[in-house]
Amino acid sequence: MVEMDRAKVLMFFAQDTGREVPAAYLRETRRVRPDAGVDQFHSLISGIYKPAWSDLALCIKVGLDSPYSDEIRYLPDGRWTLQYSARVGGLAHSDNRALMKCLERGAPVGVVVQTRRKQDPRGVGYRIQGLALVRDYDAATDRFTMEGATRAALDSLVPQEDPVGREEMLLLANLTNAFVPTVSTRREMYTANRLARDPAFRNLILRQYEDACAVCRGMFRLRRPAAGPLVEAEAAHIRAVEEEGTDDLRNGVSLCRRHHWAFDQGLFTINEDHRVIVSGAVGRADKRNFDLEDYHGKPTLPPVNEACRPHEDVLRWHIENRFQS
């Protein structure tokens, strides 16, 4: 396996950023996710995993019962950092050298965080924290400093001729950053070209809801050989872009065109329990074959990845600023 394959493997890994997965997803990847193109994302034997086909570390694990004090912390702009303890032996250990090479080459590495122990009825579980860059190594404390991958690092994985794919990677990487509800923070993701970010946001939101409306579950998808699929659903921003709403996937939901219009008009909202709340204004309107009231109190369709659930901050914003209460 050559280095280009590593980039493809990490791109696949990043698609599940924020997702909770069982141990088999990491240890038996080819069986669980054969399209990933790799035997395993991580062996789960030790903290640092370097596959035989590369001289670079591929993925690191943060364990619940680790003797080390590894901890993810968040910067003021929402990005995450990690102080990660090297294996005993310093740079004489091959695993530590493999992670050091990631630092020297500016190569991203996958990060998984254990969320459940073996005693849990559901078995051992992990969260895909996403891709990170190794920023420093302190030989005195034998610790690596890592942080969530930057645009430059993600650009190195995605071909330059695919600007939409690069934006998708950046939006996915943002899922494990702390949620920041407005663009005014001027985080790195908003320096991107809007022409690439708009379709990236749309692609990812529709993929999370499998092209269905989160309210009525309606779905229309026509596959066309000479063009992309024709999909009726739309990717809706909860806090609108013109109101400084972000392209964070937690500020999005998939809606059919009728319900997208009704949502933007404040004729219904989604509460923090992810249930549809219909405005009393709908009952006063002249209407025919308008079924919005049928969904009052019903739960919305959840996204495939729970990390993409609409954030309570933007749901609250919609209730306070758009909903016709």
Q: Specify the CATH number for the domain of residue 79.
A: 2.30.280.10
Backbone angles phi, psi at 184, to 5 degrees: -60, -15
Domain range enclosing 275 = 179-321
CA 180/CA 158 separation, integer angstroms: 25
Helices and strands, number each (H, E), in the chain: 10, 14
Q: What is the CA radius of gyration of the chain?
A: 22
| Of the residues 155, 187, 218, the one at which a domain ends | 155
Q: Is residue 50 part of a domain?
A: yes
Non-local (6+) Cβ contacts of 121 within 8 A are none
Contact 253, 276 (CB under 8 A): no
| pLDDT at residue number 132 | 95
Q: Find out whether 119 and 69 touch, Cβ atoms under 8 Å.
A: no
For the CA atoms of 96, 99, 105, 108, the dihedral, rounded to the nearest 10 degrees, stands at 180
State whether 301 and 195 are in the same domain.
yes
Do residue 188 and residue 131 come from a single domain?
no
Tokens of 202: 């749309």
Q: Which residues neighbour 228 within 8 Å (Cβ) at sequence distance 6 or greater? A: none
| Residues 100, 43 share a domain | yes
Instruction: Flag whether 148 is in a domain.
Output: yes
CA-wise closest residue to 78 among 208, 246, 252, 319: 246
Q: Which two tokens stand for residue 192?
A: 């991107």
- 170 part of a folded domain: no
Q: What does the pLDDT read at residue 188?
A: 45
The answer as to whether 174 is a domain residue is no
- Say whether both 222 and 314 belong to one domain: yes
Tell whether 7 and 50 lie within a shared domain.
Answer: yes
Query: What is the Cα–Cα distance from 216 to 254, expressed in whole angstroms?
Result: 10
For residues 280 and 325, what is the distance between their CA atoms, to the nearest angstrom? 7
User: Is 128 within the bounds of a domain?
Assistant: yes
pLDDT tens-digit series, residues 65-85: 776 667 889 888 788 999 999
The per-residue pLDDT for 190 is: 47
Domain-embedded: residue 78: yes
- Is residue 163 assigned to a domain? no
Same domain membership, residue 31 and residue 134: yes
* Res 210: pLDDT: 97
Q: How many structural domains are present in the chain?
A: 2
Q: Which residues contact 113 (CB under 8 A, 6 or more apart)?
A: 61, 62, 72, 126, 127, 129
Total-model pTM: 0.88
> Which stretches of 15-70 are DSSP H helices?
23-27, 29-32
Q: Are residues 115 and 57 in the same domain?
A: yes
* 276 and 190 in a common domain: yes
Residue 108's nearest CA partner among 59, 54, 66 is: 59
**Tens digit of each residue's pLDDT, the chain (325 residues):** 445 488 889 999 999 999 999 999 999 999 999 988 899 999 999 999 999 999 999 999 998 877 666 788 988 878 899 999 988 888 889 999 999 999 999 999 999 999 999 899 999 999 999 999 999 999 998 899 999 988 778 877 887 788 898 899 999 999 999 998 887 544 444 445 778 889 999 999 999 999 999 999 999 999 998 888 999 999 999 999 889 899 999 999 999 999 999 999 999 999 999 999 999 999 999 999 999 999 999 999 999 999 999 999 999 999 999 999 8
Is 125 part of any domain? yes
Residues 121, 183, single domain; the answer is: no
**Residue 9 shares a structural domain with residue 147:** yes
Residues 10 and 137 in one domain: yes
The Cα 174–Cα 236 span in angstroms is: 18
User: Which of 121, 155, 189 is a domain's end point?
Assistant: 155
The pLDDT of residue 184: 59
